[in-house]
Structure 1
Amino acid sequence: MDCRSEEDAFVFATQLAMAAVFPAALKTAVELDLFELIKKSGSGAAVSARELAAQLPASANPDAHVMLDRILRLLTSYSVLNSSPRNLPGGGGGVDLVYSLAPVCKYLTKNEDGVSVSPFLMLIQDQVLQKSW
């Protein structure tokens, strides 16, 4: 096995080992209504994890934005969200990532009739169904 093939095999093995992480992150995003919160910010809006955390009911956790940012970065790596850097206010040179909806979020957020595939996702990811496997 050459070096590149070995590296590819390692990456693939890692992806398989972590296969449960993405659905859990997606389910958490739906449970927290993150896609709807981003959508409510306006068409093409981009929001930071800190801005989203401030809109959550349990935002008293001072580290909520850090935990959200991890979930959002994972969703970005699967092209569920888009991310881009934004300079922090104050001119100190700091940068924050902001997130916007990728095209797939059209189906993960409610349409004009209030319909999305999110309830189906929640059904498939339900603990009872998962334990049956």
Structure 2
Amino acid sequence: MDNKPDEEACLFAMHLTTSSVLPMILKTAIELDLLELIKKTGAKATASAAELAAQLPRNNPDGADIIDRILRLMVAHSVLVCGLKLLPDGGFFARNEDGLSVGTPCLKIQDGAWMEPW
């Protein structure tokens, strides 16, 4: 029997618990029951930060932003996975039927000639 995947998972878990910021985020996520809320959505279901924040007992106007940051950090450390869910209209960064999107001004603003002076 090959225990290598179990050993690697255990080593990864130990790495996660001995780092600095991630354990604090995990503690917060556990205290808020975020992982339980995500689990309740089901294996193939999706949940946005706003949807999760709405299920928390406290109403915090910045709740969705804070939950989003927590989730992004956990995704960055492979605790969770993240996927792209397009909006019904294809999203703001995809071109519409007129060929326009928010992507064009983003490219202009991030252009080297604009950013270098900063």
Shift of 1:28: 0.5
Shift of 1:92: 6.7
Rg larger in structure: 2
Q: Which amino acid aligns with 1:54?
A: A
Q: TM-score, normalised by structure 2?
A: 0.58
Higher relative contact order (CA 8 A, sep 6+): 1
In 1, Cα distance between equivalents of 2:92 and 2:31: 31
- Structure with more strand by fraction: 1
Residue 48 of structure 2 is matched in structure 1 by 48
Q: Which residue of 1 aligns with 2:24?
A: 24
Question: What letter corresponds to residue 67 of structure 2 in structure 1?
Answer: L
Matched residue count: 75
TM-score between both structures, scaled by the size of structure 1: 0.52
Q: In the superposition, relative to structure 1, how do residues 94 and 54 fare at CA in structure 2: closer, same or farther (>3 Å)? A: farther
Answer yes or no: is the 8 Å Cα contact 1:39–1:45 preserved in 2: no
* TM-superposed deviation, 1:82: 0.2
Q: 5+ residue gaps in structure 1?
A: 1-18, 96-133
Find the counterpart in structure 1 of residue 83 from structure 2: 84
Q: Once superposed, what is the RMSD of the aligned Cα atoms?
A: 1.7
Unaligned runs of 5+ in 2: 1-18, 94-118
